Amino acid sequence: MARKNIAAGNWKMNTTVSEGVDLYNSLAEHNVPSDVTVIVGAPFIHLTSLIAAKKDNIKVAAQNCHYENSGAYTGETSPSMLADLGVDYVILGHSERREYFNEGNALLAKKLNAALANGLPVIFCCGESLDIRKAGTQNEYVTKQLEEGLFHLDVSQLQDVVIAYEPIWAIGTGETASPEQAQDMHAHIRSILVDKYGSNAAEEMSILYGGSVKPTNAKEIFGQKDVDGGLVGGASLKADMFKEIIDSF
């Protein structure tokens, strides 16, 4: 896919199904600018209702999937189930999945392959902890996450991937990376994409920033040259706040 402006919400484990449908319907009333793609990442149990309510202007994402299409994996949801339902994207590699559910780069590479094989585009997350940021090794760390999780893809597969850079120290903390910190990392990510896939593919990649994006800071962050939008947690749970973020490009 060509480089897009993307406002993606990550509801995490929040809202009941009916609250989620209400939130979706409220967002769907919004006059989304034609150059902005809006996505909401909802819990699995919400997806059937959201797909039934779906409007063209708000796409629907799952927050995870398994790497197999079926089998004896109690409690899991497969990419073929999501694709069949009409889900538009799946978020993979969120730091909360990495940290609390032990998802490493090798596992994420398998999930990524399975999603893409089912025609399900992926929002692939990366980002460093505070310790790594303090040590100043964030570029190396994120490079390794992408090399081990993403860079086995060929250039045509890459077209169905959006990268989300989310420094863990800025997630849910109210502390945002400065626009310069975001731009520096996004430029770094784009430069390693150039090295690996060439400048056309790198230019086409949408790279989102995540970590305490709010209506008050979205414009400045999205205004950075290599920042193509946001993956938004807390502020995506309030329709009015998320609408303001959608209008911040």
Phi, psi angle pair for 58, to nearest 5°: -130, 110
Nearer to ligand PGA, 68 or 244 (CB): 244
Nearer to ligand PGA, 123 or 158 (CB): 123
The answer to whether 19 is a known catalytic residue is no
CB of 19 to ligand PGA, least distance (A): 17
Nearer to ligand PGA, 93 or 211 (CB): 211
- CA–CA separation, 44 and 90 (whole Å): 11
Nearer to ligand PGA, 50 or 61 (CB): 61
DSSP E strand boundaries for 86-215: 89-92, 122-126, 161-165, 207-210
Kind plus residue range of the DSSP H or E element containing 204: helix 199-204
* Contact (CB, 8 A) for 179 and 222: no
CB of 171 to ligand PGA, least distance (A): 4
CB of 233 to ligand PGA, least distance (A): 2
Which member of 96, 103, 128, 166 is catalytic?
166
DSSP reduced 3-state for 247: coil
Count of other CB atoms within 10 angstroms of residue 81: 18
The one-letter amino acid at 36: V
The one-letter amino acid at 205: M
Which residues in this chain contact ligand PGA in the complex, by CB under 6 A? 10, 166, 171-172, 210-213, 231-235
Nearer to ligand PGA, 104 or 172 (CB): 172
CB of 117 to ligand PGA, least distance (A): 25
The answer to whether 166 is a known catalytic residue is yes
Which member of 94, 96, 128, 186 is catalytic?
94
Q: Under the phi-then-psi rule, with left for phi > 0, alpha for psi from -120 to 50, and beta for the rest, what region is 79?
A: alpha
- Dihedral sign, Cα of residue 182, residue 235, residue 132, residue 43: negative
DSSP code of residue 214: -
Nearest residue to ligand PGA, using CB?
A: 233
CB of 13 to ligand PGA, least distance (A): 12
- CA–CA separation, 115 and 65 (whole Å): 8
**Active site members:** 94, 166
